[in-house]
């Protein structure tokens, strides 16, 4: 392996290490925020009153779609959550 190549690879490695650590943090934050958002949208599922419950039926189909893509991406053929019954 040539010196240049080694330097390049090492640089990529260090870059990748820090960037992926950063990306992981962002993803963690995203997951937390998303959970909170879903909870606020469907509070009636956990037995809490939701003043806008009926209006949120408007966005429910989009959630189903988003959720379906998500669980497929995660390698699950079937929906793991009963109230998100896409398949």
Partner 1 sequence: MRELLRKRILFFGGKRGVGKTTCASAMALAASRAGRRVLLVSTDPAHSTSDIFDIPFDRDEREVAPGLMGIEIDAALEARRYIDRAKSEIARMFSQAVAREAERQIELAASMPGVEEVALFDRMGDLIINRFDAYDLLIFDTAPTGHTLRLLRMPELVSSWIGALSRRRRALLSLNQDIDKVRQVPEAIDPEEDPILRTLEQRREKLEQVRARLMQHNFTGFVLVVIPERLPIDETVRAVEILQDSNVNVCGVFVNRVLPADLEGEFYRSRRNQEQVYVDEIKRRFSAYPLAWIPQLETDVYGLASLERVSTLLMR
- Binding positions for partner 1, rule: CB under 8 A: 19, 22-23, 26-27, 29-30, 33-34, 36-37, 40-42, 44-45, 49-66, 82-83, 85-87
Ramachandran area for residue 75 (φ above 0: left; ψ -120 to 50: alpha; else beta): left
Q: Which is nearer to partner 1, 6 or 76 (by Cβ)? A: 76
Q: Give least dist CB 16 to partner 1, A.
A: 11
Q: Which is nearer to partner 1, 17 or 22 (by Cβ)? A: 22
DSSP string, 11-38: HHHHHHHHHHHHHHHHHHHHHHHHHHHH
Q: Give least dist CB 22 to partner 1, A.
A: 6
Closest among 45, 87, 43 to 68, alpha carbons compared: 87
CB atoms within 10 A of CB 42: 17
Q: Give least dist CB 1 to partner 1, A.
A: 26
Q: Which is nearer to partner 1, 54 or 74 (by Cβ)? A: 54
């Amino acid at each position: 392996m040539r010196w240049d190549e080694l330097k390049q690879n090492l640089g990529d490695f260090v870059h990748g290490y820090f960037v992926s650590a950063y990306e992981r943090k962002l993803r963690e934050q995203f997951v937390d925020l998303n959970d909170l958002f879903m909870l606020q949208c469907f509070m009636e599922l956990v037995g809490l009153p939701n003043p806008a419950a009926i209006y949120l039926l408007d966005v429910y189909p989009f959630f189903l779609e988003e959720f379906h893509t998500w669980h497929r991406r995660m390698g699950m053929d079937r929906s793991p959550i009963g109230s998100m019954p896409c398949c």
